[in-house]
Amino acid sequence: MKSILFLSVMNGSAWGGSEEQWFRLALWMAKKKYDVAVSCFDWPEKAERLNALQNEGIKLFLLPKNNKGIIARWRLQKQVNKIHFEKYDLVFINQGGVKDISHSPFKTIYKRCRKYVTSSHNYYEKGSLSYFKKSLLAKWFSNASLNIGDSQKIFDALQNKFNIHSANNKVVYNPIGFPYPEKINPFSTANNNSVIFTMLAALDVVRKAQDVLINALSNDKWKSRNWYLYLYGEGDDFEILNSLIKHNKIDDKIFLKGHTDNVVSALNQSHLNLQITHIDAMPISVVEAMALSRPCIVSKVGDMPIWVQHEQNGYISSAITVEAIDEVLELAWHQKDKWSEMGEKSFAKFQELYPHPYEENFVALLESL
């Protein structure tokens, strides 16, 4: 393989952990003298990363992020049509939800690729797909040289929910956004004995359930305790969550911190990372927290229970309800003296499961196709 095009069809937000994979691979391969091109949606917040790609000689095909309306969709289609997919030895297609590639203007791109790989970061279990959509997705996944997912749940959902089968599947977790840590990260002793909870996720209550978490922490018992919750991330549900925090009169403890470019700093001051969500494959926030020796409370979705063992290196909530979250937080609260040890065990599990060195291993996989 001499040339590769990375196409990211993700456009729900400026940037997310699910785009770090293709970005890291593109940079690494360009430095190793592969002919690399990238096509992604053009958000102002991506400017620094796009400049980094250009500085390595990577050709960019930027897509307009606003594609609402007939004219905007026409412009998007026109930009996609300019890309010569067939000239590249491999096309790497990155999507968030497993069915994103079934939408225009991307739905028939597979026909224009000599060889392609799909990389999916979330699954789809609710609702239904039309016969046309299912047929289209089946063609996408069956014709791919490789289908990558950051959780086995992605492929299970495709098969069980939509009867879409593919033998060319492989689970590959997303890369952490900072250098690989070689040793345990000391537990935070700052914050005047206050407990710092963190959650790093898109503000999306349907998938990430921040509203349930806020309500669980809004009773008088929790209001009387010494803790803070920092909710990092952006999304369409900012106003919903901001209003809920004010309505519950807990704005002195729960803070919407917005997007952070410094995950290490956010997690260094944290004691417990929370990812008690409705829908997740294998969120990079959990992997990064464990890489920095922080225990997590998670839900029983995706691959999170593979990484987190209840009361060993973290906690697993039995459900995503106010009652269940209150119960698991209460258990964790009374085991604060064990969190540092749990963090060390989290780091050990990270070392066991994380594919290091990341880029070298991943590119070797692509070269084997």
Cβ of 139: how many Cβ atoms within 10 Å?
16
Phi-psi sector, 118: left (phi>0), alpha (psi -120 to 50), beta: beta
Counting residues of the chain whose pLDDT is more than 70, the rounded percentage is 99
Q: How much is the mean pLDDT over the chain?
A: 94
CA distance 15 to 232: 13
Cβ of 301: how many Cβ atoms within 10 Å?
22
Entry pTM: 0.87
Residue 190 pLDDT greater than 70, yes or no: no
Q: Tell me which of 97 and 180 has the higher pLDDT.
A: 180
Phi-psi sector, 190: left (phi>0), alpha (psi -120 to 50), beta: beta
Residue 165 pLDDT greater than 70, yes or no: yes
Encoding tokens for residue 62?
Answer: 């930027």
In tens, the pLDDT along 331-346 reads 999 999 999 999 999 9
CA distance 1 to 366: 9
Counting residues of the chain whose pLDDT is more than 90, the rounded percentage is 84
pLDDT class of 258 with cuts at 50, 70, 90 = very high
Domains and CATH numbers, the chain: 3-175+355-367 (3.40.50.2000), 191-353 (3.40.50.2000)
| Region 84-110 average pLDDT | 95
